[in-house]
A and B are shown apart, each in its own frame.
Chain A
């Protein structure tokens, strides 16, 4: 059962490490390519600066 215990710990470790990296990747994507306030449509339906 010791091997099984290590299997569980390693498995959960890989899952958390991978999803943790994805959290960082998503944060980076949002930061680099997220919508800026200037991209939000104005009342006239256009984007960009007035």
Chain B
């Protein structure tokens, strides 16, 4: 038996050592700093396990390889996660304020704007990076601020950067409270941020709540059929929640299933970050593009919010547009915080939650639209 099989340290490359350090950093951030621990700890551990020399977990038949084949290459894990997400989301704030759906739509410019930039830096223009049309679309999807959608689109398009894209998408969701506020402040005036929006008292009927997921599946599925797996599972989960007769299944989707799949998904995603594939200039650029994606989405949402502010006769606070990116519920909380800074009596959380849940639907639609359109334009 060769010596290297007994002593892994002899087979340790500097690239693998860097990845072991990154895995350790994510675990540290998750546990010590409590930054998205549910995601970062399994991902960090997956990275470490995948980069232990001669560990064999990413080879055919290894645990991480099996998880990737069964859960990610088939898109099973992101879809199961979406059932849990749907069961957790209360679409009431959106149903009370349907117009906030348009803010969710505007924020998806983060996806398409980032795609445009990535393609320009790659095969479409400067050729500085090895970014094909498909890769650029997958990179743009980071702007969906939605991990399952990022995994789904990047794997369906078979992007070679899928691991980096997925890790970037999940990492930046934790950084929403840092990325968004400067952009929100830069694009709004003090007077706009101070604007108080009255709380709505009109409640949504239970029948509307039950019909909403079904209507959404029909509307989205018929316009962007490639989004059907994502919107179908998201809204199925929401139907479990709102039906009123499936409490047991709703709780199982929100807790047991979501927790188990999160563990497996995190390990599998981390396991995709193998040193020789990951440490490339393109990967670093993907991380930079991730910031661009979140910033562009935030800016587009706030700018449409400003249009609504003027069109409504100064009744809509443009800050709520920032919640149009679907980082749920972080971006709604960020809007609340920035609004309170400008005016201690300004509680925007429910209005922002409407835009935030709309962003969840809009990001799925954008992902489906991208998958449909890529066949015509790539």
Contact = CB atoms under 8 A, between A and B. Distances in A.
Interface residues of B, number: 47
Interface stretch (B82-90, B158-166, B216-224): B216-224
Nearest to B111: A11
B365 A1 contact: no
Given A1-B119, A30-B204, A12 B125 contact: no
Nearest to A40: B203
Interface residues of A, number: 29
A28 to B, nearest CB: 9
Contacts of A26: 94-95, 98, 101, 212
B364 to A, nearest CB: 10
Interface of B: 94-95, 98-99, 101-102, 104-105, 108-109, 111-113, 115-116, 119-120, 124-125, 133, 136, 202-205, 207-208, 211-212, 215-216, 219-220, 223-224, 358, 361-362, 365-366, 369-370, 372-374, 377-378
Interface of A: 1, 3-8, 10-12, 14-23, 25-27, 29-30, 33-35, 39
A19 B365 contact: yes
Nearest to A1: B124
Given A4-B116, A10-B373, A11-B366, A16 B102 contact: yes
B211 A33 contact: yes
A20 B101 CA distance: 8
Contacts of B112: 7-8, 11-12
B96 to A, nearest CB: 8
Given A26-B98, A26-B101, A29-B212, A34 B204 contact: yes
A20 B109 CA distance: 16
B332 to A, nearest CB: 17
Name which of B125, B208, B374 has the most chain A CB atoms within 10 A of its CB: B208
Contact of A21 (B208, B223, B366, B378): B223
User: Dominant SS at the A interface?
Assistant: helix
A15 B105 contact: yes
Contacts of B120: 1, 4
A34 B203 CA distance: 8
Given A14-B365, A15-B369, A27 B219 contact: no
Pairs A-B, 5 closest by C-beta atoms:
A26-B98, A19-B105, A14-B369, A7-B377, A8-B112
A48 B369 CA distance: 45
16 contacts: A4-B133, A10-B369, A15-B105, A15-B108, A18-B224, A22-B361, A23-B99, A23-B101, A23-B102, A26-B98, A27-B98, A29-B211, A29-B215, A30-B98, A33-B207, A35-B204
